[in-house]
Amino acid sequence: MLTRQAWSPYLAGVVIGLLQIPAFLLIETALGASSSYVTIGGMFASWIDPSILKIDYVARHVAATGKNWWQVALVVGIAIGAFVSMKLSGAKRAAISPIWQRALGSASPAKRYAVAFVGGFVLLLGARIADGCTSGHGLSGMAQLAVGSTVAVAAMFAGGIATAMLLLRRI
């Protein structure tokens, strides 16, 4: 089981959904990922510009609270879990997924890295404007029947599909 390359999306989805149990019971919060970028980004930025900590939004996110650092630990754990899973199955990944050559119409790693950087920037800018990402609004917000989260998820798919149709080639 643990050495298999792929699980059914339904099994994996159930496992991810069950993580709401420890999140709500132990941390008294819902699964989320994007706030951690403010915690880490704000901390790095404060080394160069200490005055960023005067912004209440940043101060709240870098504060040494369980919730802030639980989420940072969660995303670090995601990288560890994916790494271990990959090693157990013996799968190997190229530095860049083969789909990008077709999607971008270019085999240049530099072009892919630039697109990834811009993508990451827009990703977190959007997530912070919306106050949540695929995890916070998607997994947790929709499970809680939150109206705003459902609107955010619909916008997320609309933005993603439009971008894929307009900017990327068919993979």
Partner 1 sequence: MSVILAIIIGIAMGIVFGFALEKSRVFEPGIIVGQMQLRNFIMLKVFLTAVATGAVVLAVLNGFGYVRLQPKAAAYAADILGGLLLGAGITLAGACPGTTLAQIGAGYRDAFFTLIGGLFGAVAFSYAQPVLAKTFLGQGGPKLIFSNMLGVPYWAGALVLAALIVVTLVALEAWSPWRGEMGKDVDGDLPASPPPGKASMHAQPAE
User: What is the token pair recorded at 27?
Assistant: 């941390």
The answer to whether residues 152 and 132 touch, using CB atoms and an 8 Å cutoff, is: yes
In the complex, the smallest distance separating the C-beta of residue 59 from partner 1, rounded to whole angstroms, is 10
Footprint of partner 1 on residues 97-126 (CB under 8 A)? 97-100, 103, 109, 112-126
By CB under 8 A, tell whether 14 contacts partner 1.
yes
By CB under 8 A, tell whether 12 contacts partner 1.
yes
By CB under 8 A, tell whether 18 contacts partner 1.
yes
Measured distance CA(96)–CA(6) in Å, rounded? 20
Measured distance CA(133)–CA(130) in Å, rounded? 8
Measured distance CA(31)–CA(139) in Å, rounded? 7
Mark residues 28-67: x for contact with partner 1 by CB under 8 A, - for none. Answer: xxxx-xx-xxx-xxx-xx------x--xxxx--x--xxxx
In the complex, the smallest distance separating the C-beta of residue 45 from partner 1, rounded to whole angstroms, is 5
